[in-house]
Amino acid sequence: VSRSQPTQPGTPPLVVAHRGASGELPEHTLAAYDLALRQGADGLECDVRLTRDGKLICMHDRRIDRTSNGSGTVSAMTLDALRAHDYGSWHAEMASRQRAAAALGDPDVDNKNIERYAEPTSVLTLRELLTLVLDWDRPRTLFIETKHPVRYGALVEMKLIAELQRFGLAKRPPSATPPVVMMSFAPSAVFRIRRSAPNLPTVLLGENSRYLGYAPTTSGVPAAIGPSIEMLREHPKVVERARASGRATYVWTVDEKADVELCRDLGVRWIATNYPARTKRVFES
């Protein structure tokens, strides 16, 4: 993400595990992130939300209903209340689909992980995830996406920077493998982070063409841009334009081989995928 190291076309992108190895294990669980690290992912992606008692947890949805056996809105629940539910067993249904696929000989199904789908798992805090990443044997980058930028945005960012500072990460000088990158779909959130933590690399995410006219002239300009793979297919020149202004590109969510190869050919620096092991294998062949 460093401005001094633009990625040239043909360079294999670094592989970021989207919500962990979430194609194989329940998203945003310690097990999914641990598996991604063991599979050699270069980075991890997570979404963060604020609980009612001001704790940052890793969760995509506003509510816990899809990814747990409970029900409710994250911002209306305390961390203790969130911990009362199980965030692993919901994958049991997916496990049975995976078993059926494995039985049919689908080569993408990794048999040894199937049985782990249904394990009960607690909600994951950002602190627990940061600890996992920082304790790993070689540097990896955690891409943290802040959700609900409009209603609680500034508060989430303030808490996030305080939490990063607790680990000594918010003010670190820029490096080729930054331990943390902050991301948001909201330019206002990225600009606020740039103002309060200028050394923290940022990615401005987007899935429409407002990117293409993005003028890198303000002081709050993101270090990288983050188009969706759908947008990249339609507007591949966005990578070249970003490179011309010294910016890297982060593309999500890249699960198909042809898309992985497209990203490599264009010189995308980071790709977020639900299948880090299989994505890394594309570059070995």
Least separation in angstroms between CB 100 and Ca ion: 28
Interaction of residue 145 with Ca ion, rule CB under 5 A: yes
Is 60 tagged catalytic?
yes
- Among 27, 145, 163, 259, interactor with ligand G3P by CB under 6 A: 145
| Positive/negative CA dihedral, 70, 75, 80, 86 | positive
- Cβ atoms within 10 Å, residue 207: 14
| Residues in binding contact with Ca ion, number by CB under 5 A | 2
Alpha carbon distances (Å) from 11 to 14, 202, 267, 277: 9, 21, 6, 18
- Between CA 17 and CA 29 the distance in angstroms is 12
Q: Which is nearer to ligand G3P, 47 or 255 (CB)?
A: 47
Residue 161 or 205: the one with the smaller Cβ distance to ligand G3P is 205
From residue 179 to residue 198, the character string flagging contacts with Ca ion as x (rule: CB under 5 A) and all else as - is: --------------------
Is the Cβ of residue 18 or residue 243 nearer to ligand G3P in the bound state? Answer: 18
Of 197, 170, 185, the residue nearest 60 (C-alpha): 185
Question: Of 45, 157, 163, 255, which lies in the binding site for ligand G3P, with binding defined by CB under 6 A?
Answer: 45
27 forms part of the interface with Ca ion (CB under 5 A): no
Residue 280 Cβ, how far from Ca ion at the closest point, in Å?
A: 20
33 makes contact with ligand G3P (CB under 6 A): no
Question: 198-202: long-range contacts at Cβ-Cβ below 8 A with a sequence spacing of 24 or more?
Answer: 199/170, 199/171, 199/172, 199/173, 199/174, 200/161, 200/164, 200/169, 200/170, 201/1, 201/2, 201/174
Among positions 107-136, residues that touch Ca ion (CB under 5 A) are: none
Cα–Cα distance measured from residue 134 to residue 184, given in angstroms and rounded to the nearest whole number = 22
- Cα–Cα distance, 187 to 215 (Å, whole number): 12
Piece of 42-50, 110-118, 224-232, 233-241 that binds Ca ion (CB under 5 A)? 42-50
| Of residues 187-226, those binding ligand G3P (CB under 6 A) | 205
Residue 173 Cβ, how far from Ca ion at the closest point, in Å?
26
Residue type, 223: A
Nearer to ligand G3P, 118 or 232 (CB): 232
The nearer residue to ligand G3P, 56 or 272, going by C-beta atoms, is 272
Task: Compute the distance between CA of residue 72 and CA of residue 78 in angstroms, rounded to an integer.
Answer: 11
What tokens appear for 102 in the block?
A: 């494995």
Q: Please pick, among 28, 60, 91, 235, the residue that the annotation labels catalytic.
A: 60
Question: What's the rounded Cα separation, in Å, for the pair 257 and 251?
Answer: 14
Nearest CA among 246, 49, 211, 48 for reference residue 142 = 48
**Is residue 47 involved in binding Ca ion (CB under 5 A)?**
yes
Return the one option of ligand G3P, Ca ion, none that residue 205 interacts with (CB less than 5 to 8 A, by type).
ligand G3P
User: CA separation (Å) from 246 to 4, 75, 113, 204, 220?
Assistant: 7, 37, 40, 14, 14
Q: Which is nearer to Ca ion, 24 or 145 (CB)?
A: 145
Q: Which residues of this chain interact with ligand G3P, rule CB under 6 A? A: 18, 45, 47, 60, 145, 205, 252, 272
Catalytic residue annotation:
18, 60
